[in-house]
């Protein structure tokens, strides 16, 4: 890999100071390309070899090679044949990240129609997820997913948005092992984005039948010792790691981040993806690309092997500092303690992000509607003490006032 500036090492990255804390590890220079391998096996499409192909890395103990850029299915997909999926595939981005709930349930149908129409099931890696976490519900949801996606196997199946680690029970392990040996599911893992991400990563590292975790991870968190230690534990245990929410939760602050739209060679969106890829413990980043232009930009960032240089990192650090008070980490235990009303602040902030940033207005409203009535009573709640308790200075009164307007 070339560098457009002085090469940034992992030590440098951890010293960027985006989050206070002692550095948990130091090590070899970043070289995202070091573990990238071409893919000579089923499910690893090298689609149009006359075109440059997105680099690939091995996903932990699955031993499988996947592209570093994954196509998020939480966007509107054409139910007949989605052109974004086709374009991604041409450049080797053959991994689709679906879920039973994405698109109000339409995502899996669109993925099924896409691969059957083009007859490319074997060239596609499909991950989907179950919102049911108990063994019976998990198996039932998998069956429905297979039916909707018109396939007899899924490459990976996740527990979706796991928060309670108790669901990784012996009963679930028995079910997972049966489904895996029966061929309906090739690999198993979970996704997580709540305040206990580090705890769940440690649990994954200690649970041999968990092969992969997709978790909230972005440039704001590089100095977080607890998270870094948990990531290291996963890497040591062979748990394949996929980053999501890489844009750093930019709910309701478009005007602020526009000042940082370009860090130099890269747009801000490209730069934060490259920041995740610079961490060679992470196999891939999933990206919500809701139009061809975003897909094109992200493909360009993945295909260009130029690493972020010092100037890019400095720009990202400035961006992180300037927008820190807009980005919610979902650590409700910190601000929620100061609330008299039972409002799940981290969740509401996440729904606001779905609404404002991902453009998933219906999904955001639907998720908000599912909250108990007392948790939706944003208009009368006092967020003063919660804002004061937030270590990042998130202006909750402003965000919740907006949430009440657009989500309720």
Nearer to ligand SF4 by Cβ, of 142 and 200: the residue is 200
- DSSP notation for 169-214: -HHHHHHHHHHHHTTSEEEEEEEE-STTHHHHHHHHHT-TT--EEE
Nearer to ligand SF4 by Cβ, of 228 and 387: the residue is 387
Pairing of strands 154-159, 185-192: parallel
* Helix 292-303 / helix 83-90 crossing angle, nearest 10 deg: 20
SS3 for 235-269 is HHHCCEEEEECCCCCCCCCHHHHHCCCECCCCEHH
Which among 314, 222, 317, 301 is positioned nearest to 266, based on CA atoms? Answer: 301
Nearer to ligand SF4 by Cβ, of 155 and 329: the residue is 329
By three-state DSSP, how is residue 46 classified? coil
Which among 164, 156, 145 is positioned nearest to 283, based on CA atoms? Answer: 156
Nearer to ligand SF4 by Cβ, of 265 and 392: the residue is 392
Nearer to ligand SF4 by Cβ, of 331 and 397: the residue is 331
CB of 333 to ligand SF4, least distance (A): 8
Give CA 21 to chain center in angstroms.
24
CB of 335 to ligand SF4, least distance (A): 3
CB of 325 to ligand SF4, least distance (A): 9
Nearer to ligand SF4 by Cβ, of 230 and 352: the residue is 352
The contact set with ligand SF4 (CB under 6 A) reads 328-332, 334-335, 345-346, 349, 390, 392, 394, 396
CB of 181 to ligand SF4, least distance (A): 40
**HSE (side-chain half, CA atoms, 13 Å) at 401:** 7
CB of 313 to ligand SF4, least distance (A): 23
DSSP 168: S
Which among 86, 84, 91 is positioned nearest to 52, based on CA atoms? Answer: 91
Partnered with residue 158 across adjacent β-strands are 129, 189
Nearer to ligand SF4 by Cβ, of 69 and 251: the residue is 251
Are 145 and 186 in contact by the 8 Å Cβ rule? The answer is no
CB of 176 to ligand SF4, least distance (A): 31
CB of 63 to ligand SF4, least distance (A): 37
The token duo for 267 is 């747009």
Nearer to ligand SF4 by Cβ, of 250 and 332: the residue is 332
CB of 198 to ligand SF4, least distance (A): 14
């Amino acid at each position: 890999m070339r560098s457009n500036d002085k090469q940034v090492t992992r030590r440098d990255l951890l010293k960027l100071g985006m989050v206070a804390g002692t550095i948990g590890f130091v090590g070899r220079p970043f070289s995202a390309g070091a573990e990238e391998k071409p893919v000579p096996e089923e499910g690893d499409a090298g689609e149009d070899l006359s075109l440059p192909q997105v680099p690939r890395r091995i996903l932990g103990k699955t031993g499988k090679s996947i592209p570093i850029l994954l196509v998020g299915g939480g966007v509107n997909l054409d139910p007949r044949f989605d052109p974004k999926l086709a374009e991604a595939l041409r450049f080797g981005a053959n991994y689709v990240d679906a879920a039973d709930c994405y698109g109000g349930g339409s995502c899996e149908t669109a993925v099924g129609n896409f691969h059957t129409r083009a007859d490319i099931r074997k060239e596609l890696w499909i991950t989907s997820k179950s919102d049911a976490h108990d063994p019976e519900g998990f198996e039932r949801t998998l069956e429905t997913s297979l039916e909707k996606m018109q396939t007899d196997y899924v490459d990976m199946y996740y527990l979706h948005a796991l928060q309670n680690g108790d669901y990784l029970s012996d009963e679930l392990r028995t079910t997972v092992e049966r489904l895996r040996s029966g061929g309906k599911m090739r690999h198993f893992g979970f996704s997580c984005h709540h305040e206990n991400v580090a705890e769940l990563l440690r649990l994954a590292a200690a649970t041999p039948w968990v092969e992969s975790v997709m978790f909230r991870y972005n440039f704001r968190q590089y100095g977080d010792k607890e998270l870094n230690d948990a990531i290291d534990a996963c890497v040591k245990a062979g748990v394949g790691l996929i980053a999501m929410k890489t844009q750093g939760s930019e709910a309701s602050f478009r005007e602020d981040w526009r000042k940082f739209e370009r860090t130099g060679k890269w747009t801000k969106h490209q730069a934060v993806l490259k920041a995740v890829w610079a961490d060679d413990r992470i196999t891939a980043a999933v990206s919500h690309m809701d139009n061809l232009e975003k897909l094109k930009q992200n493909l360009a960032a993945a295909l260009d092997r130029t690493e972020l240089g010092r100037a890019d990192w400095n720009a990202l650090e400035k961006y992180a500092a300037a927008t820190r008070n807009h980005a919610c980490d979902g650590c409700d235990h910190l601000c929620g303690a100061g609330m008299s009303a039972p409002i799940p602040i981290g969740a509401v902030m996440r729904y606001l992000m779905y609404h404002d940033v991902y453009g998933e207005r219906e999904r955001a409203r639907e998720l908000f509607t599912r909250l108990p009535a007392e948790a939706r009573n944003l208009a009368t709640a006092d967020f003063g003490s919660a804002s004061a308790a937030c270590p990042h200075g998130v202006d909750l009164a402003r965000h919740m006032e907006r949430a009440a307007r657009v989500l309720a």
